[in-house]
Amino acid sequence: MKWVKFRIKTVTDAEDIIISTLYDLGLEGAQIEDKVPLTAMEKEQMFVDILPDGPEDDGIAYLSFFVEEKEDGSLEVAGEKTTTEAVLADVKQELEDLRQFMDIGEGSVVVDETEDIDWINNWKQYFHQFYIDDILVIPSWENIKPEDTDKMVLHIDPGTAFGTGMHETTQLCIRQLRKFITPETELLDVGTGSGILAILSLMFGAKHAVGTDLDICAVEAVAQNCDVNGIDPAQFDMMIGNIITDKEVQDKVGYECYDIVVANILADVLVPLTPVIVHQLKKGGIYITSGIIDDKEQTVVEAVKAAGLEVLEVTYQGEWVSVTARKN
């Protein structure tokens, strides 16, 4: 399958209007390349991985639109047959019209051809089976090797939700969970993503889990990952919403009913989360946190203590930190 790529050089302030304008032409699904820093909300929604500081925003943006090329070399846009030349002419005309009332920067268009774009599955080439101690983590498109048949196996397909288990913060949480889970454990996983921590907790023997997330994509990812791992849907409840600020979510999650709360989130989110989540924990309940870069360790420890929790253990992997505490 071949695709024609129309790549526009513009400025970041013009991204939205150009995307909207070209959408009306039938060009959808823009790929955006810029150096705009993530917003606070975007950082919260990413939960696990803290991206390194990127280059300084220079105001330049590249927008790429892809149109499938048919066997006869023609294109189809908005259900109508057309040509590369015609689409290019339309794009250039729209850009020139926009230039009359706003700054679109250079506004140049480069046309290129590429093959075999699979928007949903291309990421799979980067995710292969691996081990977390004695646990084999394997995606659905790979097979279990004969020598691994005696291992605990976690089948995980993250899809569009975060969480494969590869990141150090996830592994830190997994090791702490194994220490405290019992057959009676009621667990709350804040920022559950793909559901990996809650699903493993149930595989370790926990009784029931609740996961919360801001991203609606987590619902489908959790359902699929529960299914492939043989988790009874009744054992895992999902809720979408911000437990830090939304009283309705807090009420729905429930108060003083969890033996373990795990939160693999950014340190800057753990600070406001901790004084809220302490009310969800039972007395004697365990609070496991990670997603903490090493220079934020003290910030999180202080937030945990300020919420009245007792710090039990601080563990490390690479430059990442996990803080485990108890509600006395």
Q: How many CB atoms lie within 10 A of CB 295?
A: 10
Query: How buried is residue 185: exposed, middle or buried, by Cβ count under 10 Å (0-12/13-18/19+)?
Result: buried
Residue 182, annotated as binding a ligand: no
Contact, 250 vs 226, CB < 8 A?
no
CB 260 within 8 A of CB 211: no
How many whole angstroms separate alpha carbon 213 and alpha carbon 220? 12
| Contacts with 20 (C-beta within 8 Å, 6 or more apart), sequence order | none
Q: Is 225 annotated as a binding residue?
A: no
170 marked ligand binding residue: yes
Rounded to the nearest 10 degrees, how much is the dihedral formed by the CA atoms of 36, 38, 39, 44?
Answer: 170
Single-letter residue type at 146: P
3-state secondary structure of 126: helix
CB-based burial label for 101 (10 Å; 0-12, 13-18, 19+): exposed
Annotated binding site for S-adenosyl-L-methionine: which residue ranges? 170, 191, 213, 264
Annotated binding site: which residue ranges? 170, 191, 213, 264
